[in-house]
Amino acid sequence: MPLIGPKDMFERAYRGGYAIGAFNVNNMEIIQGIMQAAAEEKAPVILQVSAGARKYAGQKYIMKLVEAALDESDVPVVVHLDHGPSFEMCRDCIDGGFTSVMIDGSHLPFEENIAMTKQVVEYAHPRGVWVEAELGKLAGVEEHVSSADHVYTDPDEAVEFVRRTGCDSLAVAIGTSHGAYKFKGEAKLDFPRLEKIAAKLPGFPLVLHGASSVPAEFVKMCNAYGGNVGDAQGVPEDMLRKAAAMAVCKINVDTDIRLALTASVRKYFTEHPEQFDPRSYLGPAREAVKAMVAHKIRDVMGASGKA
């Protein structure tokens, strides 16, 4: 199946009250694990590539791996730039075959965020490419953006931002954050705010970043086999399901992939200290990614059978 844009995926997800999983990819095993899970669950899927992933693996390598995955796949797949820091990077990804890009101007003043997003929209739309933007700030570190505190998305500003930029979807800040340490005490998301934004932008797809749930089993496994992951806490799965049933059409997951993969590798090394063939530990790690993604698609996004 050829790569597609997210328009149809999101329209169906919005109407159906579920979300599309957007999973960060950095290497072959991660791509294979995600694609195998999506095939098994008969689910549409978004493979997203950060600036860091482009730097690590190279855009051409990633696109060739995705191409190989598509040859074997019969589920709809989008390739998306995650947290594009500049117009130039968005342009390179659009020219390189991405069907969706995110321009992240969330760290900029409102007018500057609008101007940069608009510039990307003007390049992307004539080429049939989808544009996700972000308004509000997630606490924590997003590669080029880091913020000590949340700045939640203002519903009225969101309406003005969407109208003036022409962006296709919007990442909102309602209390999630990137990484494994999302909440100090009780996990809390601002659902009334999400509802307000959704009501003011009817039919418009919203995006949830920082949406890993940091499963306790992976944290325990990392720590049991020599890791020191500490007091990690993610977004509870029932909150993600609630968001998916609302206007959130795309749920971003990276940290859970890292944890699944690393927990598996740590366990393997401890149990097989004599092994040094990378296939011996990357094979089970790929399986761990696949099982985690399949669970996520089925039990959190509600996207099984929607391909």
Measured distance CA(187)–CA(257) in Å, rounded: 21
| Closer Cβ to ligand G3H, 178 or 306, answer by number | 178
**Minimum distance, C-beta of residue 258 to Zn ion, in the bound complex (Å):** 13
User: Is 83 an interacting residue with respect to ligand G3H (CB under 6 A)?
Assistant: yes
Q: What are the C-alpha distances in Å from 77 to residues 21, 48, 70, 193, 267?
A: 11, 10, 8, 30, 32
Contacts (Cβ under 8 Å, ≥6 apart) of 288: 33, 260, 261, 263, 264
Q: Mention every residue, 6+ apart, whose C-beta is less than 8 A from residue 52.
A: 26, 143
The verdict on 254 binding ligand G3H (CB under 6 A) reads yes
Using the 8-state DSSP alphabet, how is residue 300 labeled? I
Q: Nearest approach, Cβ of 182 to ligand 13P (angstroms)?
A: 7
Footprint on this chain of ligand 13P (rule: CB under 6 A): 24, 82-83, 178-179, 209-212, 252-256
The binder of 52, among ligand G3H, Zn ion, ligand 13P, none, by C-beta within 5 to 8 A per type, is: ligand G3H
Helix, strand or coil, per DSSP, at residue 227: coil
Residue 81 vs 116, nearer CB to ligand G3H: 81
Instruction: Output 186 or 277, the one with its CB closest to ligand 13P.
Output: 186
Query: Does the footprint of ligand G3H cover residue 59 (CB under 6 A)?
Result: no
**CA atoms of 54 and 60, how far apart (whole Å):** 9
250 binds ligand G3H (CB under 6 A): no
Annotated catalytic residue 82: yes
Q: Does 142 bind ligand G3H (CB under 6 A)?
A: yes
Count of CB atoms within 10 A of residue 294's CB? 20
Tokens of 147: 């913020």
Pick the catalytic residue: 82, 104, 154, 256?
A: 82
Q: Which residue numbers are catalytic?
A: 82
User: Which residues form the interface with ligand G3H (CB under 6 A)?
Assistant: 24, 50, 52-53, 82-83, 142-143, 178, 254
